[in-house]
Structure formats: C-alpha cells, structure tokens
A and B are shown apart, each in its own frame.
Chain A
C-alpha cells in the first residue's frame, strides 16, 4: 500500500441538493505525507474530508483509504483516523472537562469504550505535548477559542492515527502555536508513520513540510502541486 487515500472520479451530494458538493474528484495521497487542501469558502474542502471518512457517501466513483473501500469499510477505517472539525467551539455550560474530551478520542478504539490507566497517561501526554496540561480539569466551554482548538487537536493526536484529517486547524491559534504545530509537531507525526491532510482557506500559509498542495474551486480539483517533484497539473 503506497497511498493513504485513493479517489477516482468521486462525486458526492448533500441530501436534497441537486448540485454535487464535490465533482469528479480524482486524487492520490501518498502515505507518510502532508497534503494541504486550499481553496475559497464553499470550494468543497470540508466535504472532501467528510467523503474520505465515509461521513458523506459518494454517489459516483471509488474511494480507498489505507487500502480499504469507503464507505463499505468506513467503520473499520475510522478507528485508524483522527478528525479535527472546523466547528469545534463549545458553550460555557458544556459538562465535560478538558481531559474528559481528550479521553473521548481513545474511547472509540477500546472495547466498550472503557479506559485504563495507560490511556489516561496518553491523555496527559497529549495535553503536555500541546502545552495545555494545566487546563486538564477545566470545563472545556470556559476556555478561549485557541485553547479549545488545542484540546480538540490533543483529542485527535491521542488516538495515534494513521491518517489525520485537519479542517482549518490554525483558525483560532496564535502565531507561536501555529509555528510549533507546523514546524515541530506535524513533521514528527509524519515521520512516525502518520499521513496528514490539512484543509485551509488561507492560501498564504503553507507549512514548512508540505508534500502536496491541492487547490479546489466549486467542488472540483483545479490544481495539484507536488512539492517533491515541483510539478503542477
């Protein structure tokens, strides 16, 4: 298996919509790489991530993720993936602490969702990695946007995913946090065997390590740049 994601002529629609949200998407994403998906609002970037995870079933085309058919084997493959959604903000009354939220990331991969002592150590490590260990017992809804985004990133990382899907992961982060995540955290993650797909509407920001840039507009892929080969289509 040399590709983490393979899509061939995939079109997907939201329920009740006549116009497809993504149209005839064909792409291959190599394993152990970072792919940046850019494009304006409404280009289909988030839909692409949802289709890769099988949350939105394609009406046409074929998808393989980590060697498995999507959506047929979506339930199995999702356990190997992590997803950081774009809309992560929680209201102040949310009854979960930061460590509870991060632990939820592990629960789906454990029998009956029960966590052991080792799992709680992983939670602590993920929080420490992102510099938010002191927030562990705080209710998530009382944190700032940037802190909440880091918590959700910790939840994604604690699962030790093979495929990490990040939807606008820097939208609420300050400059230092952006730099740390893009220059230190993500490259280490890729070196450890993870494939990262990152969506951004901010074309001016490119992480230092970026293997592939895909540009989307109106549901279609309009440009692919491979930074190793420096070729574009």
Chain B
C-alpha cells in the first residue's frame, strides 16, 4: 500500500475543503473534514472499480484537489490570498491550539492506538503482502478503507496547526526519519511519534518566540531531525562495514 501517497492526497482534499469553507464563511474543519473523509471512502472503491493502482488514483485526485483549492481561494470573498483566514488554512495557526483541540487530538490518538493494538496482526499482514493476506482470508479492502479513513480524520485535525501545505510534511518526515533509525514496524511507529512530538514542540516554541507560522516551524524542526537521523544512520552503517575485515566484505 502506498499509504504516504494516500495521506498526501487526503491532506490536499482537506485543503480544498477548507478553501471552500472560505466561500461559505463556515468553520474550515467542517468542509475540510468532509472532503478528507469522503476521499478516504471513495479512493479505494474508485481504484478498485477502475482497476487502477491506488497510488495512480490518489495522485489524480491530488491534482484535482490542487486545482479546486486554487479555484475556491479565488472565489473567496475579500482580497485573494491576503486574509488571515486564508493564511490559517494554508500555513496553520498557533491560535488553533486550545485545550478542547488538545482533548480531540488525545481522543483521536487513543482510538488510533486501540485500533492498531486490536488489529495489529492483520494490519501487519496487509502491509507485508496484501495479496497473500487476501489469500489467507483477511478482508484487505475493509482494513485498507479503515486505515485510510483514520488517516483522513487525523489529517483534518492536524490541518489547523500546520495548514494544508505542510500537513503532509508533518505526517511524512517523522516516518521517513524513523525508517533511518529503526528496523521493526513497532519501533518505527514509536520513534516516528516521538519525532513528530519533538518537531511539534520545537516548531510551536519557535513560532511563539519569533511570531512565525507554526506549520512552517514544525516542518523545519522535523526536517532537521530527519537530516540528523539520516547522518547518524549513514555513520553507524559505515562503522559496521568498516568493522568487517576487508577479505570478508
């Protein structure tokens, strides 16, 4: 499964929905959420019905959502790309972080962890080889749609902090960093969560200190951690190779 591509598309679906909310002057989370969740539910069947790879379907939808975002922003009342609301949708806002919001994120995390815990064996089987999992009687479609829908919901709520342009980076960079330093899937999930949290704390602090967009600051923090992880990984591997006698290499 190309989960990163799917998350990328859903982030842009949420962005298009949020941009549309500017036209109707309603809470961006409503239409952003609707777009992301609808995408989560239609992308799988769309790909299955047309018999095209899921990543091809998701990249096509990504292009459509990009176009829609621009159209909706142009249609929004007031000076285009200049209002505070547009800024919040595209680049996130520190003001979005309220106790209620934190409670929502905590609840979502608990649901996500519970689902992973309960269905761990089958989810691993699908991630390892979806065709073999299906041959063994796992309902691959059901679990794929479930994971996609969960990713959609998480994206919608992350959108407020990071903004539509950067939400994918916050999802992707911590995972990419964890791949550099962890071998097992469990460790990768744990380390990517820790890296995401560290990047968020760094980003929010930087944003508060210098009055910069919070999303951009978080992504810069995450990217710095990724570079450090990649460097450490390369050094560690080189030392392992160098420890092997030349004749055994």
Contact = CB atoms under 8 A, between A and B. Distances in A.
Interface of A: 15-16, 53, 55, 75-76, 78-79, 81-83, 85, 90, 93-97, 100-101, 103-110, 112-115, 139, 159
Contacts of B134: 55, 78
Please list the 7 inter-chain residue pairs (A to B) with the smallest Cβ-Cβ separation, ordered nearest first: A107-B121, A113-B121, A113-B122, A78-B137, A79-B137, A104-B125, A83-B135
B184 interface: yes
B179 A113 contact: no
Contacts of B138: 107-108, 113
A100 B137 contact: no
Contacts of B183: 95, 139
Nearest to A49: B135
B132 A85 contact: yes
B136 interface: yes
Nearest to A77: B137
Contact of A107 (B122, B139, B188): B122
Given A75-B139, A104-B133, A97 B125 contact: no
Interface in B97-153: 118-125, 128-129, 131-139
Given A95-B185, A108-B125, A78 B135 contact: yes
Contacts of B139: 75
Contacts of B128: 90, 94, 96, 101, 104
Interface string B43-60: 000000001000000000
Contacts of A108: 121-122, 125, 133, 136-138
Which of the listed residues B120, B133, B136 has the most CB atoms from chain A within 10 Å of its own CB? B136
Contacts of B179: 93, 95
A105 B136 contact: yes
B121 A79 contact: no
Nearest to B183: A139
A113 B185 CA distance: 17
Contact of A83 (B119, B122, B136, B185): B136
Given A110-B121, A113-B123, 5 more contacts: A16-B51, A78-B136, A96-B124, A107-B121, A159-B136
A224 to B, nearest CB: 25
A53 B133 CA distance: 12
Interface string B156-191: 000000000000000000000001001111001000
Contacts of A55: 131, 134-135
A211 B123 CA distance: 38
B29 to A, nearest CB: 31
A15 B125 contact: no
Contacts of A113: 119-123, 125, 138
B159 to A, nearest CB: 28
B132 A107 contact: no
21 contacts: A16-B51, A81-B135, A81-B136, A83-B132, A93-B179, A95-B182, A96-B185, A100-B124, A100-B184, A104-B121, A104-B125, A107-B121, A108-B136, A109-B136, A110-B121, A112-B118, A112-B121, A113-B121, A113-B122, A114-B118, A114-B120
B121 A115 contact: yes
Nearest to A74: B137
Contacts of A94: 128
A223 B97 CA distance: 71
Contact of B124 (A76, A78, A83, A107): A107
A113 B126 CA distance: 12
Contacts of A95: 179, 182-185, 188
Contact of B136 (A15, A79, A90, A139): A79
Contacts of A107: 121-122, 124-125, 138
